[in-house]
Amino acid sequence: MTNCLVCKNKIKPFISFGKQPIANGFLTSQEFQKEYFYNLAVGFCPICTMVQLTELVDREKMFHTNYAFFSSTSRGMAKHFEEFAQFIKNKYLKNKHDPFVIEMGSNDGIMLRHFAKEEINHLGIEPSKNVARVAMSNDINTTTKFFDEELAKEILSQYGQADAFLGANVMCHIPYIHSVIAGIKLLLKPKGVLVFEDPYVGDIVQKTSYDQIYDEHAFYFSVRSINNLMKMHKLEVIDVAPQNTHGGSMRYTIGHIDTHKISPKVKKQLKIESALGLHRPKTYASLAKKINNSREGLITLLKNLKKQGKRVVAYGATSKSTTITNYCKITPDLIEFISDTTPIKQGKYSPGTHIPVKAYEKFQNNHPDYALLFAWNHAKEIMEKERQKNGYKGKWIVYIPKVKIIKSV
């Protein structure tokens, strides 16, 4: 039993993935001995409906000067963030005198660059110093502290309030969420907005995309759980918009309570959530069963291919694949290596099961019989590129929403 991070009600896990390493903790063989593990388990709070981890990892173990996740590794994501920035400019900054935008978790500057290049006042908050350095070298104003209420007060005295406070794939990372929301509330102008997006629990339930569950993701949000949380701070959800990114995300727009017109899309999404049963414990019990079946299917397939002497290489050393490899016990005897374009991951080993991560050229120069698509959220971008430009003739193995072998999308 633990306490809900939002409303303090007692909750217990509906699934446990056992001991897991740091999802982005790609490591050298010298580091195998001292690798850190924690117990990965998820619970649902029947009072405030928040889905959340029941054991947390210290933030300094995940976000530091060797953080392996650089946002700008996918063209699709670069385009997504260009559009996100444009959406904010059109909807919330137009006709504003000297607007100010803050982004939490700004990483290598994938989104803020579109504000910086137009000389719009901005501030990035990015504690992982190696990725923040990339943003700073591109003239993006960045602080490398962790955001919380205390930092919000510092920012307020130095810069004043913001027209828009943005976040992508970061709100769900922060277990001290009340401090974060209280800080954002202080920083928002009376008509200012908080706009953030994160993987959506409705997609996880519908697609059994359990690989979204790992140390960095303390929360799995729904519109209902976010609205409950925001109301505790006299804020409210004023708009929502589903996104295709990260295998299915939701963008939430939040304002001070009773200040904005609420889009009818909010009510519509709440209805969809009721139909999906996102407020019911039994939905999560059933998800746990599906996750278990998915593991059986994947491991059986990989073992059969090994028996047949097929070469299988994985594609994309994603954070989320750490849950798959460790939960399904996928070791280097089943997967030759993982191909990845991120320099900091290459030459290292995957967390926990220690599959070698190699540069993309190793894949390209010696195509396997099967490519296990760990970066399934970029399926279209990757499969098109490999088939049309790079002549890959092998098959793909995917496991979301179902374990299957496909030729291409």
- List residues near ligand SAH by CB under 6 A: 59, 63, 67, 69, 71, 104-105, 107, 110, 125-128, 131, 146-147, 168-170, 173-174
User: What is the closest distance, in whole angstroms, from the C-beta atom of residue 45 to Zn ion in the complex?
Assistant: 3
Residue 73 binds: one of ligand TYD, Zn ion, ligand SAH, none (C-beta under 5 to 8 A by kind): ligand TYD
Helices (H) and strands (E) in the chain, counts: 13, 19
* DSSP single-letter state for residue 234: T
Residue 320 binds: one of Zn ion, ligand TYD, ligand SAH, none (C-beta under 5 to 8 A by kind): ligand TYD
Residue 238 to residues 148, 233, 257, 306, 386, Cα–Cα distance (Å): 23, 14, 9, 52, 41
Alpha-carbon distance of 81 to 211, in angstroms, equals 23
Residue 104 binds: one of Zn ion, ligand TYD, ligand SAH, none (C-beta under 5 to 8 A by kind): ligand SAH
Alpha-carbon distance of 204 to 199, in angstroms, equals 8
Cα 174-178-184 angle, rounded to 5 deg: 85
Cα 370 vs. chain centroid, distance in angstroms? 26
User: What is the closest distance, in whole angstroms, from the C-beta atom of residue 358 to ligand TYD in the complex?
Assistant: 10
Alpha-carbon distance of 280 to 118, in angstroms, equals 46
| Residue 137: partners with Cβ closer than 8 Å, 6 or more residues away | none
49/243 with CB nearer ligand SAH: 243
Where do the DSSP E strands lie in 74-175? 100-104, 121-125, 142-143, 162-168
User: What is the closest distance, in whole angstroms, from the C-beta atom of residue 104 to ligand SAH in the complex?
Assistant: 4
Is 48 an interacting residue with respect to Zn ion (CB under 5 A)?
Answer: yes
Residue with the CB atom nearest ligand SAH in the bound state: 105
74/142 with CB nearer ligand TYD: 74
Alpha-carbon distance of 242 to 321, in angstroms, equals 23
User: What is the closest distance, in whole angstroms, from the C-beta atom of residue 231 to Zn ion in the complex?
Assistant: 13
> Could you tell me if 240 and 265 are in contact, meaning their C-beta atoms sit under 8 angstroms apart?
yes
Residue ranges that bind ligand TYD, judged by CB under 6 A: 69, 73-74, 316-320, 340-342, 360, 375, 377-378, 381-382
Residue 63 binds: one of ligand TYD, Zn ion, ligand SAH, none (C-beta under 5 to 8 A by kind): ligand SAH
User: What is the closest distance, in whole angstroms, from the C-beta atom of residue 20 to ligand TYD in the complex?
Assistant: 14
Q: Residue 329 phi/psi, 5° resolution?
A: 55, 55
The residue from 2, 7, 290, 381 that contacts Zn ion (CB under 5 A) is 7
Residue 45 binds: one of Zn ion, ligand SAH, ligand TYD, none (C-beta under 5 to 8 A by kind): Zn ion
Residue 9 binds: one of ligand TYD, Zn ion, ligand SAH, none (C-beta under 5 to 8 A by kind): Zn ion
